[in-house]
Chain A
Amino acid sequence: MLLVKNREVVVPGQALAKGKFKPGKDVYIDNSGVLRAKKLGLADIKDNTISVVPLSGIYIPKEGDIVIGIVSKISGSTIIVDIRSPYQGAIPIPRGRTVERVDMSKYDLHLGDVILAKVKTFDGSSSLLLTIDMEGLGKLEEGFILEVEPAKVPRIIGKRQSMLSILREKTKSEIIVGNNGRIWVKSPSLKELLALKKALRKIETESHVSGLSDRISSFLSEELSD
């Protein structure tokens, strides 16, 4: 038996369903078999699975995520990277025979450098390994870094990158979205950058209201009209 509507705002502990439903992300089953929300978010019902799409929260790394980090420490053989999460990322500097195989110029990093990295392994607590040893990863030059709530990243990308392509097209900018809520932007001029920044704020505050893509599209057209 379903106790909430699809896309309804739910609070932690709120009963979502009883019986034959399966718990998805951010849903747990209590001792009496009732499915309850773990976080403040939107109920998402797909077939028999109920999950909660959180409306806020910090970034918890996941293997395979693309993140934008800032080099915070370099100690001997590892580069420590801040990725806006409780856990710091580590990039081991290649040594020995691997040096011949990798592009060592990528590892010439300094404090404060902004890098695009991929989460290689994460054990859930202390050890978070990142990698930049891939095409397209590594130091980000030029551009600006904007920050958004990590919980809103899926909405900024959109279904099959729909939202991201609207943003790219309308602002004529290069945009890279990190799963940790950092966004790298290179715009043709300040005007596009500021419009994009406003659009991102709008996505953050209105992410739970349907018809978001259309609103953002017309908002950007208006902002950049003259």
Chain B
Amino acid sequence: MPLYVEKKPDVLITEDGVRTDGRLPHEIRPIRMTVGILDKADGSAFIEWGGNRILAAVFGPREVHPKHLALPDKALIRTRYNMAPFSTPERKRPGPDRRSVELSKVIREAIKPAIFVENYPGSVIDIFVEVLRSDAGTRVAGVNAASLALANAGIAMRGLVAACAVGRVENFIICDPNHDEDMWGDADMPMAMLMESEKITLLQTDGPMTDEQFKEALEMGRRCIRFLYEMQKEALKRPYLIVERSVFEQGEV
């Protein structure tokens, strides 16, 4: 018998579209993004999104070990998505499992089109996504953090990659599903976009949707992702603006 039994809420969404955490269908949970928080990594980012706490670290471009993995004409991209044992309500057995191997692949493929891999032949760029606390939507939060960490590392990119999940609960298309909606909702659709061209680099669906619902969900996802992109830009520029302000303030005294 598990010690922790989750219960489905009686009502996932009211007739007026109020969700279990009080949000309306189009509302996103609170988000905070911070870059450059790890000293030893070439680039890093931390994202707090609802109950999620995710750390992304980028190393490289650096020498490939083992050497035979190196590609002669472009950089190799390696990604590791990992959940801390304490990140879930019940202890997660440490180490890679089926799910984290899949998410590593999904995040890598969402991010890779953004990188000018041909600029760094024969090298490797390692991306680590560490989930410290999970609360639905960790893969999209991981994509956002990884993209920030890459930009923070000074790697040549076509643009940033922003991501958000959308879903369906009964007849409502909802933005950024929370834990309850992820567990008991009818459909879930994480998506990511390369922001410079707004091309979709990640689209998964779990659960049935009609054509109309799918189109509505896609449109809502696009809107959310544009919002996240604005936050990413702000997060990347923030450290430089803070230094600039403090220099000017010192000058006035």
Binding site for B on A (CB under 8 A): 9, 11-14, 26, 28, 30-31, 36, 38-41, 54-58, 60, 86-88, 124-126, 151, 205-206, 208-209, 211, 215
Question: Which of B63, B155, B248 has the largest count of A CB atoms less than 10 A from its CB?
Answer: B155
**A26–B124 CA distance with the chains assembled, in angstroms:** 20
**A190–B29 CA distance with the chains assembled, in angstroms:** 52
Q: Which of the residues B114, B123, B196, B240 comes within 8 Å of A30, measured between beta carbons?
A: B196
- Smallest beta-carbon distance B248→chain A, Å: 8
Given contacts A57-B154, A215-B247, is CB(A11)–CB(B233) below 8 Å? Answer: yes
Q: Which of the residues A58, A125, A205 comes within 8 Å of B154, measured between beta carbons?
A: A58
B227 interfacial by beta-carbon distance below 8 Å: no
- Name A10's closest neighbour in chain B (CB-CB): B237
Top 4 closest pairs, chain A to chain B, by CB: A13-B159, A57-B154, A56-B154, A86-B123
Query: Is B244 a contact partner of A209 (Cβ separation < 8 A)?
Result: yes
Query: Is B121 a contact partner of A125 (Cβ separation < 8 A)?
Result: yes
Chain B residues in 8 Å Cβ range of A58: 42, 60-62, 153-154
Query: Is B120 a contact partner of A60 (Cβ separation < 8 A)?
Result: yes
Query: Is A13 a contact partner of B195 (Cβ separation < 8 A)?
Result: yes
Given contacts A12-B160, A13-B159, A30-B197, is CB(A55)–CB(B116) below 8 Å? Answer: no
Query: Is B236 a contact partner of A40 (Cβ separation < 8 A)?
Result: yes
Q: Using a CB-CB cutoff of 8 Å, which residues 51-89 of chain B contact chain A?
A: 60-63, 72-73
Interface mask (B83-123 → A, CB under 8 Å = 1, otherwise 0): 00000000000000000000000000000001010001111
Query: What are 6 contact pairs spanning A and B, CB under 8 A?
Result: A38-B156, A40-B151, A41-B154, A58-B154, A86-B62, A86-B120
Query: Is B72 a contact partner of A125 (Cβ separation < 8 A)?
Result: yes
- Smallest beta-carbon distance A10→chain B, Å: 9
Interface of chain A: mostly helix, strand, loop or mixed: loop
Binding site for A on B (CB under 8 A): 42-43, 60-63, 72-73, 114, 116, 120-124, 151-160, 194-197, 232-233, 236-237, 240-241, 243-244, 247-248, 251
Given contacts A56-B154, A58-B154, is CB(A88)–CB(B236) below 8 Å? Answer: no
**A86–B60 CA distance with the chains assembled, in angstroms:** 8
**A41–B63 CA distance with the chains assembled, in angstroms:** 25
Question: Which of B124, B152, B194 has the largest count of A CB atoms less than 10 A from its CB?
Answer: B152
Chain B residues in 8 Å Cβ range of A40: 151-152, 154, 236
Query: Is A12 a contact partner of B243 (Cβ separation < 8 A)?
Result: no
Q: Which of the residues B153, B154, B159, B244 comes within 8 Å of A36, measured between beta carbons?
A: B159
Query: Is A208 a contact partner of B123 (Cβ separation < 8 A)?
Result: no
Query: Is B240 a contact partner of A9 (Cβ separation < 8 A)?
Result: yes
Given contacts A39-B155, A205-B243, is CB(A13)–CB(B160) below 8 Å? Answer: yes
**A40–B154 CA distance with the chains assembled, in angstroms:** 6
